[in-house]
Amino acid sequence: MSAGQTPPRLSRATAFPGQATPPVRMVHLGLGAFHRSHQAWYTQHAGDAADWGIAAFTGRRPDAAEILTEQDGVFTVVERSGVGDSFELIGSIVEAVDGSDVRRLAGLVAAPSTVVVTLTITEAAYAAAGAETPLARLVTALAARKDADAGPIAVVSCDNLAENGLVARKAVQALAEATDPALGEWINANVSFVSTSVDRITPRTTPEDLVEVAEQCGYRDEAAVVAEPFHNWILSGDFPGGRPRWEEAGAIFVEDIEPYENRKLWLLNGAHSILAYAGLVRGHATVAEALSDDVCRSAVEAFWDEASRHLPDEGLDIPGYRKALLDRFGNSRIAHHLTQIAMDGTTKLRMRALPVLAAERTQGRSGDGAARMIAAWIAYLSATEDFQDPLVDDIRTAKAHDGEQRTAALLALLSPGLAGDSALVSHIHRQQDAIAAPRTHA
């Protein structure tokens, strides 16, 4: 390609010449960067990848589907380590669809060849109400499968929720039974709900990333994603219609997933919340920047000490996991922006801070580390008007108060019972000043 010439747009024909397109056997809800770097990546690396194509539906907006459709579903994963980048073409997504196209979703889920549905719909979506929510659309699609007598199917939640498979089951069952009790019975008998723990840091792709792909790879890819080298997927549950051989790509199948879920939710996701809220208050933009701040780093370590006391000693290698997280968080070439992590705090902190706080207080300790995460969240909300949360209106009402009244009102949105503990409210309120204190340099 001569200097100044625009590189050609990526396509399946140029990426995988002579290879047949895998047939659709999986449907995904929540097409975004993480799905592309994780479930699609694992499916590409499965030993039987040629048999497993994914039809992926967007969430709030159709943009990702439109871009991927122009590229026949093919995209690049840029694996970004501390020493350089590598580039890999992924072709496991064979159809990208606007999430509002419920007719196409129902048609695909009703097909006997479709045997797996995966979800990355965000934690808040499991409690959302309305006919246009991802789970409501899924229930409509499952009704079509029931009517088609297409057989059993597995639903695999890949969202950061404890017991996410059980949460998905309860939400889907409730929606189905409210619509049609017979559908609820059919789902109970024919749909398995698989719990998973997923892990791969995937920041937002920047225009500069797309330029790099064009320069290094010789094609234009508007759907490229950037991810760290580390990836992890742990699953527990049944796949009555079969599944890709994900274990050949490194996925792990276990009987009891709870310890792995808690390790990830508390140590990785909990640390992310601390770094996001404390880091933004202290003027940082990325995870790596926040980790270099002693106030943020000590808050993470204190929370980790508390959370680790409530994780099993065997099988999880907590010291090694913590060390690996520090290395991953410190990768300054992965620009994981704190504003991306800070969204939906009321949903996230109920799963990350409150269980550890409760466990510590039950054993007679203060739960100071978990309380500090909540204090960082309140300090962040107090310092900004630009935030995203499912309880945004309630938060704005709570912020109308001052001092400890504001702290109590915001804490009540996480747990009404805790808001009545005046000593805890005072403690969390005092911690906000320490989080916001100016950084000192040696």
Greater confidence (90 vs 203) lies with 90
Q: In this structure, what token pair is assigned to residue 87? A: 């580039």
Q: The domain at 259-436 falls in which architecture?
A: Orthogonal Bundle (1.10)
pLDDT (tens digit per residue) in 210-234 = 999 999 999 999 999 999 999 999 9
Question: Residue 204: which residues within 8 A CB-CB, separation 6 or more?
Answer: 33, 337, 340
Residue 440 has pLDDT above 80, yes or no: no
The domain spans of the chain are 12-255, 259-436
Residue 211 — left, alpha, or beta (φ > 0 → left; ψ -120 to 50 → alpha)?
alpha
What is the identity of the amino acid at 254?
V
What local confidence, expressed as pLDDT, does residue 124 receive? 84
Q: In this structure, what token pair is assigned to residue 293? A: 């701040």
Q: Calculate what percentage of the chain has a pLDDT beyond 70.
A: 98
The residue with tokens 């019975």 is 185
Residue 389 has pLDDT above 60, yes or no: yes
Q: In this structure, what token pair is assigned to residue 219? A: 């094609």
Greater confidence (69 vs 123) lies with 69
**Least reliable range by pLDDT among 49-58, 118-127, 175-184, 366-375:** 118-127
Beta bridge partner(s), residue 85: 80
What local confidence, expressed as pLDDT, does residue 411 receive? 97
What local confidence, expressed as pLDDT, does residue 314 receive? 82
Taking residues 298-314, report their average pLDDT: 95
Q: The domain at 12-255 falls in which architecture?
A: 3-Layer(aba) Sandwich (3.40)
Half-sphere exposure (Cβ direction) of 245: Cα atoms closer than 13 Å: 8
Under the banding of pLDDT at 50, 70 and 90, the label for residue 5 is: confident
Under the banding of pLDDT at 50, 70 and 90, the label for residue 4 is: low
Residue 1 has pLDDT above 80, yes or no: no
Contact 201, 37 (CB under 8 A): no
Instruction: Give the dihedral sign, CA 271/277/279/280.
Output: positive
Taking residues 175-196, report their average pLDDT: 96
Taking residues 155-176, report their average pLDDT: 95
Taking residues 4-26, report their average pLDDT: 94
Mean pLDDT, all residues of the chain: 95
Q: Buried (b) or exposed (e) across 312-348, using 16+ Cβ within 10 A?
A: eeeebebeebbeebeebbebeebbbbbbbbbbbbbbb
Domains 12-255 and 259-436 share a fold: no
What is the identity of the amino acid at 130?
G
What local confidence, expressed as pLDDT, does residue 2 receive? 53
